[in-house]
Amino acid sequence: MEAFGPIVDVEWLSGSLDDVHVFDSRSYLDGRSGRDEFARGHIAGAVFVELDTDLAAPPSQPGGRHPFPTAEHFAEAMGRLGYDGSRPAVVYDDVGGGMAARLWFMLRLLDLPAAVLDGGLQAWRWEIDTGPNPVDPVTFEVRPWPTDRLVEADDVARRLESGDVVMDARSHSRYLGKENRIDPRFGHIPGAISMAWEDNIDDFTGAYLSRDELAQRYRTVTRSVATGGRPIAYCGSGVTACHDLLALELLGVEADLYVGSWSEWGADETRPVETGDGTD
């Protein structure tokens, strides 16, 4: 377990199910129920974790669509799901890790061993369970969220002015400002660069790109880090941005999360908005 994470493959997990705590973190923007999908089929022994209720506080302004829960709320949720932090956690979804990375990042913030299942449920070739998976509640120690890697809107604006790279992990079309049903306004934080999280994964397998491919993709970010910069990632509501944070961890780079993300920034009419890619 010394080299555990930030991703593990299905072969490794198939031989380690008794040694880890597996979370199914499926969540969808199209109205489907992740819990219903879990009931239809999940990795044996996995427990379902709900993004909206277990991994987030209620939507708010300021705060955005998925603010971080309080440390107490998160501890209650983890304990209720049978996780006390004593075993490594493996988190999966069915969209290449875009949802799973949120819990991965939260656990890593608390210095707990966690990994995302590379390729997700689609890559799993072994037993699939159906129906509920009862767990015995345990006690998860309340651990305060460290504030050094969770930034607010004013921090983003200030650090952009100082030259730090800010990455927008949403789809490139949303970054450009194409009208959609999700965003409160259309566009991106002025000065942010487009780093859509889906481009971290192979289109056919849903697995992360190789480290060499990720290094090429994140060359602008790593160049900034080499000169003393510290990256920030945001997305729609602080969920899929964690996929970019995981990609950077694979490259040995630590970056911060703007939790409120565009659901907070875009809803604040006092905040500037930029559209296009700056090349028009």
Contacts of 157 (CB under 8 A, 6+ apart): none
Q: 109, 233, 235, 253: which one is catalytic?
A: 235
- Report how far residue 202's alpha carbon sits from residue 208's, in angstroms, rounded to the nearest whole number: 6
One-letter amino acid at 216 equals Q
Closest of 7, 254, 232, 234 to residue 113, by C-alpha: 7
Q: Which two tokens stand for residue 60?
A: 């708010």
Q: Is 235 a catalytic residue?
A: yes
Strand partners, 187: none
Q: What's the N-to-C CA distance of the chain in angstroms?
A: 50
CA distances from 220 to 128, 227, 244 (A): 41, 11, 13
Hey, which residues are catalytic here? 235
